[in-house]
Amino acid sequence: MSMGGGNNDRLMSEINVTPLVDVMLVLLIIFMVTAPMMMQGVDVALPETTSAPLNAEKEHLVITIDPNSQIYINEFQVSLDALRDKLSKIIEGKPDKEAYLRADKSIPYGTVVRVMAEIKAAGIDKLGMVTVPPDNKPEKKK
């Protein structure tokens, strides 16, 4: 038994974290690249105010979808195929490219999204949603 010499055959019990950090960085980069691709939707800039009444001094461009899925620009009926062309001609030369969308609550969500996509494709920057404020009266229970 020699006391002076050390035992060099022992196992090293330290964890090498360099490969772990490399794998984590690669995963982080993959998730950062793929996350924006997973989101879908229509880019719409909605007004930041909460349900304030419209200013009556200026005429607003209102697109309406009635309960029969008929589309109107102000009071004039238009088809979905012609909506983009008509809107782009209406807003041509206007400094503020904004419109308001009114849709009946019974209209399917897909129809509203298609109309919103056509409005955005026509070049309208700001799209507001016209709503009716809820009744603040509590319902009477029987």
Annotation: CATH topology of 62-129: Nucleotidyltransferase; domain 5 (3.30.420)
Mean pLDDT of 3-15: 68
The predicted pLDDT at position 45 comes to 43
Mean pLDDT of 126-139: 68
pTM, two decimal places: 0.55
Comparing 25-39, 74-88, 116-130, the range with the smallest average pLDDT is 25-39
Query: Per-residue confidence at 51, pLDDT binned at 50, 70, 90?
Result: low
The residues near 92 (Cβ < 8 Å, ≥ 6 apart) are none
- The token pair at 101 is 């969308």
- The token pair at 115 is 């109309």
